[in-house]
Amino acid sequence: MLVSVVVPCMNEEDSIPALVERLARVIAPWRDRAEIVLVDDGSTDATWAAIEAARRSCPLVVGLRLSANRGHQIALTAGLRAARGERVFMLDADLQDPPELLGDMMGMMDRGYDVVYGRRAERQGETAFKRASAWAFYRALNLMSDVAIPRDTGDFRLVSRRALDAVLAMPERARFVRGMFAWAGFRQVGIEYARAPRALGETKYPLRKMIAFATDAMTAFSTRPLRFATRMSFAALGFSGLMMVYVAHSLIVYQTAPGWASVVLAISLFSGVQLLTLGILGEYIGRLYVEAKGRPLYFIAEDTRETEEAASAAPVPLRKLASA
């Protein structure tokens, strides 16, 4: 197997037919040594039925169905573990990232690169808030991260088997796959493209999930938020020292006690610093708790590859043997 295409799918029943059609055209040059792994991440619509239909029409399709919704990064990990190719191509089911770039990525990998990632030079069809928040996220992440993570990139990339094996050896549950590939190293290069607007369906990353994803990314690759909390505590202590000098000066010079405004200000400031520090500590402690339990990342409810292998290995009924 030369190339595997891995696509996590969550409520993407409308996108599956167009997705498989375009992917089949893209991987035609390697048709005899290619597969398309579609991972149903606990969808609540007819996504799995669409994957089964795609399997019947295109033998290259392999369907995995998770037992429950585990999130995009876990579903992607499930597909990466199931992929058998020496090179693995990752993209989302919404087709905002053009699969037609696979040929160019394969050519760049032929030149010795282990990771060829797509860099979004243009984000069509997205709101100003989404573009601004994405811009701020990647720059804040690189300021805080201990490893340089390419800006304006997603999980749209082609990776070699040795780079993939290095990432799959990382056991953490709070997975930030693009950061994990950056941390793994090896030779990496970007290719710019214009990201198209979503043609079908709706986004699976509302603001709430975007914030949770950003939190996972920042806590998974840096301890700087902890150092930031420590510095905030020292800054609060310094401010309280200045407040003490001010209060003492007022008592001596003006023979009057400070008013309620300064008291409320001090209490509010220190309470905010304490809550922020506790929140940052809680994020790290919570992740340690989840990691310590050591639960599996996911369970596979259905696998079309295993189903077909079991069917082919089943004994031939006696009635058929007699008729033969």
**In the prediction, which pLDDT does 192 show?**
84
Identify whether residues 28 and 167 lie together within a single domain.
yes
Size (the chain), residues: 324
Q: What is the rounded CA–CA span in Å between residue 138 and residue 319?
A: 64
Please check whether residue 320 lies inside any domain of the structure. no
Contacts of 187-190 spanning 24+ positions with Cβ under 8 A: 187/112, 187/113, 187/114, 187/115, 188/113, 188/114, 188/115, 188/116, 188/117, 188/150, 189/108, 189/113, 189/115, 189/116, 189/117, 190/116, 190/117, 190/118, 190/119, 190/150, 190/153
Identify whether residues 13 and 109 lie together within a single domain.
yes
Give residue-wise pLDDT tens across range 258-310.
555 566 566 666 666 676 777 677 767 767 766 676 777 788 888 887 766 55
Identify whether residues 215 and 229 lie together within a single domain.
no
CB 97 within 8 A of CB 24: no
State how far the alpha carbon of 96 is from the alpha carbons of 19, 91, 151, 194, 280, in Å. 11, 9, 18, 9, 34
Identify whether residues 166 and 281 lie together within a single domain.
no
**In the prediction, which pLDDT does 318 show?**
45
Q: What is the rounded CA–CA span in Å between residue 61 and residue 52?
A: 9
Please check whether residue 247 lies inside any domain of the structure. yes
Identify whether residues 128 and 268 lie together within a single domain.
no
Q: What is the rounded CA–CA span in Å between residue 13 and residue 202?
A: 11
Identify whether residues 73 and 100 lie together within a single domain.
yes
The sign of the torsion formed by the CA atoms of 172, 176, 180, 181 equals: positive
Q: What is the rounded CA–CA span in Å between residue 3 and residue 84?
A: 8
Angle at 96 between CA 64 and CA 46, to 5 degrees: 40
Please check whether residue 62 lies inside any domain of the structure. yes
Please check whether residue 321 lies inside any domain of the structure. no
Identify whether residues 301 and 188 lie together within a single domain.
yes
- Residue 134 sits in a domain of what CATH number? 3.90.550.10
State which residues of the chain have pLDDT below 70.
123-131, 133-146, 198-234, 236-273, 275, 279, 283, 286, 289-291, 293, 307-324
Alpha helical stretches, state H, the chain:
16-26, 47-57, 72-82, 102-110, 128-144, 161-168, 177-184, 207-220, 224-249, 260-293, 304-313, 318-323
Identify whether residues 141 and 286 lie together within a single domain.
no
Amino acid in position 193:
Y
Q: What is the rounded CA–CA span in Å between residue 145 and residue 102?
A: 29
Structural domain total, the chain: 2
Q: What is the rounded CA–CA span in Å between residue 88 and residue 106?
A: 10
CB 303 within 8 A of CB 64: yes
**In the prediction, which pLDDT does 244 show?**
64
Phi, psi of 136 (to 5 degrees): -70, -35
**In the prediction, which pLDDT does 37 show?**
92
Q: What is the rounded CA–CA span in Å between residue 318 and residue 129?
A: 66
Q: How far is CA 193 from the centre of its chain?
A: 19
Q: Containing domain of residue 183, as a range?
A: 3-222+296-306
Identify whether residues 171 and 248 lie together within a single domain.
no
Identify whether residues 77 and 147 lie together within a single domain.
yes
Identify whether residues 100 and 248 lie together within a single domain.
no
**In the prediction, which pLDDT does 195 show?**
78
Identify whether residues 289 and 300 lie together within a single domain.
no
Q: What is the rounded CA–CA span in Å between residue 268 and residue 266?
A: 5
**In the prediction, which pLDDT does 306 show?**
72
